[in-house]
Amino acid sequence: MIIRSEKRAERGRAVSLTYEDVQEILKIIDQSSTKEIHIEVDDFKLIVRKHGADGAPAVTTTATPPAPAPASSAPAPAEPEPAQAAQDTSKTEAPSATAQSLNSPLAGTFYRAPSPGADPFVEEGAKVSTGDTVCILDVMKVMNTLKAPCDGVVLSIPVENAEAVSAGQPVMWFEPK
């Protein structure tokens, strides 16, 4: 026999939600300053990105309200949710045979700019010298500046601003001069 805490299913009262409830939630959220919504619980999933948020072109919604509400009344998914956490090979493969990577030394959060409103340190195509600060890695609120590993040009930046990165993950590619 296994004792953990009491089984969750036995504790939380079942939530019965109608399509109107979901509409109500969306309305409230729409009035807020939030740019993006992410709610996943049991078999319900609602992911919304507002127009203009983080360069997303349109509102994308994926919602499957549970039983009473008929499945067909849920807004049709317009786009798959952005697979932010998954590392596809386009993010780790070198963009050229001679490209040199800057790898994150620790797991943390990657920032392209010194502060939220500021311009990025570098854009793709920018010329850099060895030791130039090119991005920031936030590890538990401690900000670490990462430096260009060579003289050259920024070839690609496979990581989004404010994205979580793991130790050893390439965050920038450079073509050495």
Measure the CA–CA gap between 11 and 14, rounded to whole angstroms.
9
Query: Would you count residue 55 as binding another protein (CB under 8 A)?
Result: no
3-state secondary structure of 150: coil
Query: Would you count residue 20 as binding another protein (CB under 8 A)?
Result: no
Query: Would you count residue 51 as binding another protein (CB under 8 A)?
Result: no
Q: How many CB atoms lie within 10 A of CB 101?
A: 18
Query: Would you count residue 119 as binding another protein (CB under 8 A)?
Result: no
- Interactions with another protein, residue window 128-147 (CB under 8 A): 138-142
One symbol per residue from 72 to 111: x for binding another protein (CB under 8 A), - otherwise; what is it? Answer: ------------xx--------------------xxxx--
The least distance separating another protein from the CB of residue 1, rounded to whole angstroms, comes to 4
| Amino acid, res. 173 | W
Query: Would you count residue 39 as binding another protein (CB under 8 A)?
Result: yes
Measure the CA–CA gap between 45 and 29, rounded to whole angstroms.
15
Measure the CA–CA gap between 17 and 150, rounded to whole angstroms.
56
The least distance separating another protein from the CB of residue 115, rounded to whole angstroms, comes to 7
Measure the CA–CA gap between 144 and 155, rounded to whole angstroms.
22
The site for another protein (CB under 8 A) is made up of 1-6, 8, 11-13, 15, 17, 21-22, 24-26, 28-29, 31-41, 44, 46, 84-85, 106-109, 115, 117, 138-142, 162-164
